[in-house]
Structure 1
Amino acid sequence: MAKQYDVAILGAGAAGMMAAMAAGKRGRSVVILDHAKAPGEKIRISGGGRCNFTNIHAGPKNYLSNNPHFAKSALARYTPHDFIAMVDRHKIAWHEKTLGQLFCDDSAKDIIRMLLEEMRAAHVDLRLSTTIDTVEHGIDGFRLQTSEGAITARSLVVACGGKSIPKMGATGFGYRIAEQFGLTVTETRPALVPLTLEPNLLADLAELAGVAVDAEIRHGKTSFHEAMLFTHRGLSGPSILQISSFWREGDEILLSLEPDVAILEGLKQARRENGRQAVQTVLAQHLPKRLAQYIADSLKLDRPLADQSDKALAAVEQHLRRWVIKPAGSEGYRTAEVTLGGVDTRHLDSRTMMARDVPGLYFIGECVDVTGWLGGFNFQWAWASGFAAGESL
């Protein structure tokens, strides 16, 4: 005989656990199911193991969606300060790193423990290592056939995440459920992901692998000013991950390296004061040494500063400030932090996250077509969308 619940939640990640605790606190009987052996695996690895659990500046402007207004309701009703209040209640020490990004002082596992404690207090039934074979919808709700037996529930919440990081179990299962019930799924693609370069350019930049530099990266009218990293596959670092959500195959991106440093003025001053210096020697005072050498070699500036014209020195700044690169692709879902696109928001109620045409069916978190910037924004969407669903179940 099937075990009966008010609510069944698929996915014990950030959004799923938030929805479970919110519904459980309202007296609903809740089961949360996941095929993984442990809950919150993406939480565990996030932020270098310290979990960038929210961003104090989170707002609709920080999200990509075919409907940029969809996220407004949930984000307004559960804010970063609401989540911080829960973190503080559990006496988890945290700090702001940069740009409003909040991290645990100790470990991301503190956030997982907090969510588990909240779920236990709300009498949520957590079932791990459990696979879902079939999902059916009838007059009385939903019937799930699982590896642990049948389950029925009046409401079903899909919080399965997207396709990113398949080695952690990401499958796109939530999209298949959406399509099963007649909801469309927008184009999905890797986001917040390193970009790769074609072999010839990669070989040219090989000596720069491992070099990090402050950079402003631009794609069209969109730009991000954060760190950038040259890798043995191409480009990475926060600024590249950010722009990857906007970039498309075949597009160029514009790199401005060390944009806050007056490179040309520094070179001219050095030429006046000690013209016998090599160009790369002066550049190395403002740039990583290997990058300084690469720029000097690329522009064939092998003579002392005193022999360099204003035009030659201006070319150095031009190369650093307007370096146009056409990425070959991205590293794909293997390393993407999130999936761009997802369940079409036209099918969902923005206040409750319920499917308009399938009463009792909800979609939350990453599987929805709402994708945040890098820096805690995707976690805030998980908390907010999970809370919105949990409050309406």
Structure 2
Amino acid sequence: MFYSQPLATRFGTDLIRHLGAETWDRLDIAVAWVRASGIAHIAPALTAFLQRGKELHVVVGIDLDNTTKEGLEGLLSLQEHGTASIFIHHNEAGTIFHPKLYLFRNSTHGTLIVGSNNITEAGLFQNTEAGLEINVALNDPVIVSAENALDAWRDISLGLARRLDTEFLTELVDNGYLKDEATVKAEAAARRKSVGSGTSRKKLFGGVSVTPPAKPASPPVAVSPAAAKAPKTSVPTAPAGAAPIPVTTGKVLLMRVRKARGTQVQIPLAVLREPFFGGATQVTSVADGVARGIHATHAKRAQSTNPNTLKLEMPETHNMNDPVARFERSAAGIQYEVYDATSPKGQSIMQSLTAGRLMSPPTTRLTVPSAPNSSTWWRFI
């Protein structure tokens, strides 16, 4: 499977799905950067994974001031719930630790994902990222090579890797290897302001905002007596007193839409019932910025007052034989973009929809599963 984020996949969504599967006994991760923003999204899934008796082993870089104190605190807190090891890899000679590798395995098989996604909110959901997933036997040379690389990155014999605990975390902060999240964000904002401060600077590119999903609430978890006595580090969550974020904010809906007539497409009742469209009366085109109304249609029975589908005009589909659409919900509303399924972006969306049909359980739904060619397909990512 190829990951094309954010157009057709969101790596964080698939990572959480893998963690929820009973298939795997162990997850190894190697990433350049970890921040509280990323840990907050995946901590509940990682906690549940560990509580089911699975193992987690992570090696993280600390270069370029991108990994934060709170991000590592979030990783350390996972040790309260099961078998988890965290290593820091850093080379004082100046080379950067920059892999992004995720290896799920059991006694016979492995799923290896290699790409560009760090454990940050942007890396998991927002940035333009790419990755490749392969599923093969555990003794496949690719899996063996990945295991060897992970072992090498965790090797403490040369001093490039050290196991993380609370004492070493304090050392990293005290010696200037790590900064807190607020400092890192403030410095990044200052850099952006400096770059954009020139009055003669003009924007040479377009801009499309990408909204991350709402951070999940951490469920109550069982803690062992030994862990209960240990000093606690907190997993990042939304700030106290912060306004609740609708669970649909940041959600992305991929659809293979069917044209009813002309450029009018229909959104099935099953999708209408999802919270995603709840309360929305219009969607805005990414292509031209025009807001277009969503209209409910009703069965022709005179007594019927309940809508049976949504109707939406998409002028962009005029010359499209097989349109596929991407809807994204942000705090400002729902945006959409639509492509023919034969175009490069359309193919990426269609491949993601097809991949969802093959998952267990399937994440892509069809209006008429027995007639896929004439069905509307949809998947939330």
Provide the TM-score with structure 1 as the length reference: 0.25
If asked which structure has higher relative contact order (CA below 8 Å, sep 6+), I would say 1
Provide the TM-score with structure 2 as the length reference: 0.26
Q: Which has the higher helix share?
A: 1
